[in-house]
Structure 1
Amino acid sequence: MPRGNAQVTKVFFKGQTDDFIVFVESPDDLKAWKQDQSIPLAQVVNSFKIMLTHKHGAQGQLDGASKASLENEFGTSNEDEVIKKILMDGQPQSVENAERGGDRNETMGPRQGHPSA
């Protein structure tokens, strides 16, 4: 299955100190987990990486959340606990992931070397 146009589901959590995102396998898996939390998180989340957007909302640049940022926002740096809170209280959003192939930062110009004249 090509990754270029795959649908990606993320759960967006607007926090006090930052905005956090966790990627999940599908909206259906998330819904099932919310109704039955005995389902292992590994079957629900796409990766156990918690991302933050530097207060730029759901579309902001993603960076891995540090233990300190998790501690500040959630009172714990236990990633499983934080992921559960984000999944329960966040907003699921499904997006087409079409931008995988190209560089979206057009302000930097072409990336190849220019010959000097």
Structure 2
Amino acid sequence: MPRGGAHITKVHYKGNTDDFIVFVESPADVENWKKDSSIPLAQVVNSFKIMVTHKHGAQGQMDGASNAALDNEFGTHNEDEVIKQILTKGSIQAGEESERGGDRNITQGGTVGHATGNR
């Protein structure tokens, strides 16, 4: 997945028990696939990893969706079938991934800006 200000496009599917995300190459690729489903999914999706946001919408903390979660929501855990449902029924969201960009390792120090008076 892109880091630090990279353009990112995802398809968000609001399920009955969880919200699911699939990262895609571009909104145009998804729309083209919807018109012509013979286009290989590999040309549409950025990663075959299906993410779950635990009912926190498209911006929630993402984890890999378990087979049980996929079975519960989609009736299958076949990734291709689930991704097709998400692409068909989900909403495309494009933008920049800036809120999660950068180094997340806080042990390196200096990454948290607190007003300490020391400059």
Please report the TM-score for the alignment, with normalisation by the length of structure 2. 0.83
Q: Is residue 85 of structure 1 aligned with residue 85 of structure 2?
A: yes
Structure 2 unmatched ranges of 5 or more: 110-119
Match of 2:5 in 1: 5
Unaligned runs of 5+ in 1: 105-109
4+ runs of 1 displaced by more than 6 Å? none
CA apart distance, 1:41: 0.0
Pair 1:36 & 2:36 matched: yes
Question: How many equivalent pairs are there?
Answer: 107
1:5, CA displacement in angstroms?
Answer: 1.9
SS in 1 for 2:33: helix
Residue 21 of structure 1 corresponds to: 21
1:45 equivalent in structure 2: 45
Q: Deviations over 1:8-38 (max 9, x none)?
A: 0000000001000000000111111010000
Aligned to 1:111: 107
Distance in 2 (CA, whole Å) between partners of 1:79 and 1:3 is 24
